Amino acid sequence: MIKKLHLKFLLWIIALELLVFQTSCTVFSISFGPTQIPRSNWVNNWLNNPVCQTPCWENITPGLTTILEAKEKLKR
């Protein structure tokens, strides 16, 4: 009989802790939701208007663009 009471009490405590945990996470995410950090212009441009498709990056293609060409393009 005592073991049954202990088991019921333990289950109630676990259920209560889960309820508190769930509501606290929900309240926290509502009050302190994710904030967006503004991106710099070059990142926006790179994401929204790519110059070429991968694996190319800013007209530099691995295996095709020479190191000297890549350096010149990066200077611009």
Distances (CA, A) of 3 to 7, 11, 13: 6, 12, 15
Domain assignment present for 27: yes
Q: Is 5 within the bounds of a domain? A: yes
Which residues, 6+ apart, have CB-to-CB distance to 58 below 8 Å?
46, 51, 52, 73, 74
Q: Is residue 26 part of a domain?
A: yes
Question: Residue 17: inside a domain, yes or no?
Answer: yes
Kindly indicate the confidence band of residue 6, based on its pLDDT and cuts at 50, 70 and 90: confident
pLDDT at position 71: 93
Q: What is the pLDDT of residue 72?
A: 92
In total, how many domains does the chain have?
2
Which pLDDT score, from 0 to 100, does residue 37 have?
A: 78
Please write the tens of the pLDDT for every residue from 29-69: 555 656 677 888 888 888 888 888 888 888 899 999 999 99
pLDDT at 27 over 70: no
Which residues are within 8 A (CB) of 39 and not within 5 positions of it... i.e. 6 or more apart? Answer: 47
Quick one: pLDDT at residue 28? 58
Note down the domain range covering 16. 1-31
* Cβ atoms of 55 and 61 closer than 8 Å: yes
